[in-house]
Amino acid sequence: MDMNRVCEYSLAISHDSGGLRILFLNNDILVDIESRCLRRIYPDRSEKIDNSLLELVVLVYLLNVTHDLISREMIGVSDLKDAHFFQGPHTLKTAPVLKRYGGDLTGFKNAAESLDGEFLDLADAAYKFSPFPKIPLYYLLWEGDDEFEPHLSVLFDRSIERHLSADAIWGLVNLVSNELLMAGQSR
């Protein structure tokens, strides 16, 4: 696919360097084609990103994204056509996020907002994240009480499978969960 079509489909922007600029959560990322790496763009500089999972997921997104728009229909992991993939070693990475924030709604809200999460009026605390322009992820957290344990669900837009394979979806959720955990540590 030529660069204009990649930009059109992925909602990335051509960069002066010949690469592509794309948003990942609240990070401005340069896909540096010449150097074959990702760089985080700051107002006064750029910095190489050393995260092989992010590199892989960005590449898969850019290679597979289609012209399809977001459907605005939320679905759970069991509604994905490859739902069977998300078992055992490929269970979505929610346990560490739940452990960190299951009793700390304020911490979850602060972490989510620091990643430019969009508040949703669902669960006890819920946020829509935009790891890529055409890929929303929804994190819904229910705080535990005397009767129920805390619970965290990750939901997807129905269109996600048109852009990402099951392993890339798994990787993307891992990346967003890691970002939420790191945002909680920096406070």
Mean pLDDT of 90-113: 94
Residue pLDDT, tens place only, 6-38 = 888 888 888 888 789 999 998 999 999 889 999
* pLDDT classification of 128: cutoffs 50, 70, 90: very high
User: Domains in the chain, ordered, with CATH?
Assistant: 3-64 (no CATH), 74-185 (3.30.310)
Judge whether residue 187 has pLDDT over 70: no
Evaluate whether 187 touches 113 at the Cβ level (below 8 Å): no
Three-state secondary structure call for residue 50: coil
**For position 173, what pLDDT does the model report?**
97
pTM: 0.91
Helices (H), the chain: 3-10, 52-64, 95-101, 105-114, 160-163, 166-185
Residue pLDDT, tens place only, 38-92 = 999 998 998 999 999 999 999 999 998 888 888 889 999 999 999 999 999 999 9
Question: Up-side HSE of residue 29: CA atoms within 13 Å toward CB?
Answer: 24
